[in-house]
Structure formats: C-alpha cells, structure tokens
Amino acid sequence: MKAEQFQIDSEAKAFDREHRRKIRFNIGKYDAAVSAGMKLYDEHELARDRGAYLKATVLEKLDEYLLQFEAAFTARGGRVVWARDAAEALAEIGKLTKARNTKTVVKAKSMTTEEIHLNKYLATQGIESVETDLGEYIVQLNGERPYHIVTPAMHLSKADINDIFVKHLGTESTDDAQKLVLTARHLLRNKYTEAEVGVTGGNFLIAKEGAVAVTENEGNARLSATFPKLHIAVVGIEKVIPQLTELDLFWPLLSTSGTGQQVTVYNTVYFGPRQPDEVDGPEEMVVILLDNGRTNLLAQPDKRAALRCIRCGACLNVCPVYKNIGGHTYETTYSGPIGSVISPHLSGLPEHKHLSYASSLCGACTTVCPVRIPLHNLLLLNRKQSVEEGYAPTEENVAIGLWKWSMQHRWALDLLPVKLKDWSLGRLLGQVGWSKRRASLHIGGPSFRELWKERAAQR
C-alpha cells in the first residue's frame, strides 16, 4: 500500500538529521533570495491578483484557447498532437523518433516528461536519453527522480555530487564546485550536436501567437531545441496564457517566487520550426498537448484552481511537511502541497489520497502562491472527496462512528469506568501513531457533566 510506505518513508526522512540539514540549508538559501527578490516589486499583491485572474479566465474557456494556439502554431509549419494520457504521448514520441532513426535524445528539464516517464520509455526503444539540466543530469546519473519541481538535486550536497561523479563517471575527487560543473558541461557538449531529437517542456503556451515559452537558467534548453533537427515540446494543457504581452507578468512572477530572480537567465519563445528566412532552429517542431488527468480537475469547479499552477516551487519551499520528509517520499512526479492537491486527480484518488493528509493546513503554501491557489482549502476538499467516495480506512470509519454516537449520547460515556476510557483512548492514539513518540494520554475524572450536576446540587 502506498499510504503505508509513505508513513515508513516519512518517518525515516523526518529523523534523518543529515537529510534535514541539507534540505534546510538549500531551502534557506532560496528563502533569502526570494525575500530579496520580492523587494523588486512595487505591487506584488496586485501582480498576484492579475496572475490569478488571467489563469482563471483561461481555464473557463480552455478549449477555445487551446484551439487558438493550435491554429496559430500550425500556420507556421508546426504540428500539434493531442494526448489524452501518457500512453498516447509516448506512442507519438515513439513514431517521431523512429522516423528519424533516433539514437540520442537531449532533454531539457521538464516535469511533464517526468510525468509520462519518457526516459524509461526511450530506454526500451534503445534510445539514449540525456538530461542536460545539471540537476537533472546528476539525479539521472544516480538513478533517482527529481527531488524538487525547480531544483531536482536539492537534497544533495557538493560532496554527494562529487561522489556521484566519481562513481558513475570515474572522475577525480574534488571539492571544487566549478570543476564539477565543467565536468558535466564537457560531457554534455557533444550530445547536443549528436542528438537527432531535442525535447523540452513548456512553461507557457501562448494562445494568440501560437508559441511555447521556456524559462531556464543554464541555456541547455536552447541548445536542446536548436541543434537537433526535431524539437518536441511536451506541455500540459493548463499552461495556456492569452497572449505574448502577458509574459511580462508571468515570467517575473515565476522566477521571483521560485528563485528570487527578477527574471531567469534564459527566456525563449518558440514559434515553430525554422522558417525560410531563418538561419537556425529545428527542421520540425511538434507540440504534444498533454491531458493525463487534467480534465478531471477541470471538470470540478471547486478544485479547478489547482490548474493555475505555474510550477514555481514556492509552496514546497515553505511547507513544514516537505522540509521534513523531502520530495522523494511522496513517490509522485509532483511533490509538496501542489503535488498533494493534483496527484490524486492526475494519477488516481485511491492510490494518492493519503497525500492530502500530509499537511498541517498551516496555509503557508496559499500565502506564497503567485497565482493565489487556495492550496490548503483544496487539500481539505480532497479529503472530503476521498471520504465521500468510500476510500477512508475501515478503522477510521469505525472510530468516527463511535465518536459521533458517543457525542450524541453523552450519558453513555459516564457509564464507562475511567480505566476503560483510558484503554479506549490508548487504542485510538496507537492507531494514529501518537503513542509511538509521546506519552500516553489519560482521561481525568470526574467528567464535566458530573461536575455540573454536583454544582447544581449545591445551589
């Protein structure tokens, strides 16, 4: 059971002091940068209001905006593929790579390709898939999935990265970060020119102009999209914004909320394949519009706001649960508060309902979200849905039923001796894990009802 494994993994990570030291150090650096970056805004709350409004407006007419994007993009020679799920997306990518006799694919950092497990699929086709983002490259070498939406290797220290390079690349041991970066750069450089296909995600789909906007800090996405003859962009259908001029709102919102930058280092807008008067770019560009459960959320007006997400990672950085149990514990593509909200709808409520309970409901995630997603409220709605659809554990249903009956028949509790009450409470606390790390609770006597009767008799 995923829920049981989640409990085991959570406990292991929460009591791993070295893991907590690394994650708190790395998130602390981001927190300081974001605090400084927010000072660049005169009206940050107004920017959040506008971002939330625009994304909500698009979601109300998502079909129209997607068709507008397709018409504009294909008018310049691009091709759009609509994929209902991961299987359809992978099948199309398989056709495209086979047509070009592909041996090597270079990939920019993309959560949607992680979502459909593209690297694993390409390996089954005998195709080498190389992650070109430094953090992604490191975790790929180590056989891991990304730890964080924005920073895939956030859980690793410089010493950890050196050990990975020594083990998998046979490099000399060093504590010089520049040497580590140069090692990866040297190894990746030739991959860009050798690869037949480049794959990216897309931070924004621009409906009016028919373009894909990609934001990054290393330039690897530009190289992945420029040198290969085929550029495939795998993008979730919710990433639409109305027009190009709105990037001046969303690019700073994304970068400042995630990393504290005014804008990221490289911001590129791809309008399709190379045009007759252009000297570089791919011969062919295909955009795969991925549903993969997103319309499940779209069909629920009370939860639809989750699709506003621009994947900045801010909610992960402030979440006390994420900072203690880490990203891998979630066992999903998207971790932290936003992952707990959307994963049950993208990947199945029965398997992932427990994630919506992995929250203190402190509301910090909602406070920092640049597009005002009410994350803590959506977590509650997920919990409500899981109960209504009958996915609550039998023990929980029994416990709630007994509690409800006892509250409606308060007199019955007074018939029970204190020792029996203590035993019952101990059993309940044991079920929820309270007694494992804490002293047992005891019910005192006499009860309020008995005290009230005694006081009334003395009048």
Is the Cβ–Cβ distance between 237 and 291 less than 8 Å? yes
Determine which of 194-208, 245-259, 407-421 has the lowest per-residue pLDDT on average: 407-421
pLDDT of residue 77: 97
Report the distance separating Cα 24 and Cα 323, nearest Å. 7
Q: Is the pLDDT score of 438 beyond 90?
A: no
Residue bearing the bigger pLDDT, 402 or 368: 368
pLDDT of residue 13: 94
Report the distance separating Cα 108 and Cα 202, nearest Å. 10
Residue closest to 115 by CA, chosen among 258, 224, 6, 239: 239
- Band (143; pLDDT cuts 50, 70, 90): very high
- Band (428; pLDDT cuts 50, 70, 90): confident
* Residues in CB range of 372: below 8 A, 6 or more apart: 48, 49, 51, 52, 308, 366
pLDDT of residue 431: 67
pLDDT of residue 399: 79
Q: What does residue 368 show for φ and ψ, rounded to 5 degrees? A: -100, -10
Please name each of the domains of the chain with its CATH number.
40-292 (3.40.50.10420), 394-458 (no CATH)
Determine which of 96-100, 196-200, 289-293, 399-403 has the lowest per-residue pLDDT on average: 399-403
Radius of gyration of the chain (CA): 26
Is the Cβ–Cβ distance between 6 and 329 less than 8 Å? yes
pLDDT of residue 70: 98
Q: What rounded mean pLDDT belongs to the chain?
A: 93
Report the distance separating Cα 250 and Cα 227, nearest Å. 28
Q: Is the pLDDT score of 432 beyond 70?
A: no
DSSP-derived 3-state class of residue 276: coil
Is the Cβ–Cβ distance between 12 and 325 less than 8 Å? no
Give the largest Cα separation in the chain, rounded.
99
pLDDT of residue 437: 79
Compute the residue count for the chain: 459
Average pLDDT over residues 33-58: 96
Q: Is the pLDDT score of 78 beyond 90?
A: yes
- Band (1; pLDDT cuts 50, 70, 90): low
Most confident segment among 153-162, 404-413, 443-452: 153-162
Average pLDDT over residues 94-115: 97
Q: Which residue(s) pair with 287 in the sheet?
A: 80, 233
What pLDDT digit, counting tens, does each position of 379-420 carry? 999 999 999 999 988 878 887 888 888 889 877 777 777 778
pLDDT of residue 285: 98
pLDDT of residue 31: 93
Average pLDDT over residues 122-134: 97
What pLDDT digit, counting tens, does each position of 107-126 carry? 999 999 999 999 999 999 99
Residue bearing the bigger pLDDT, 431 or 95: 95
pLDDT of residue 362: 96
Cβ neighbour number for residue 338 with a 10 Å cutoff: 24
pLDDT of residue 421: 77
Report the distance separating Cα 34 and Cα 226, nearest Å. 31
What pLDDT digit, counting tens, does each position of 300-341 carry? 999 999 999 999 999 999 999 999 999 999 999 999 999 999
Q: Is the pLDDT score of 433 beyond 90?
A: no
Residue bearing the bigger pLDDT, 7 or 399: 7
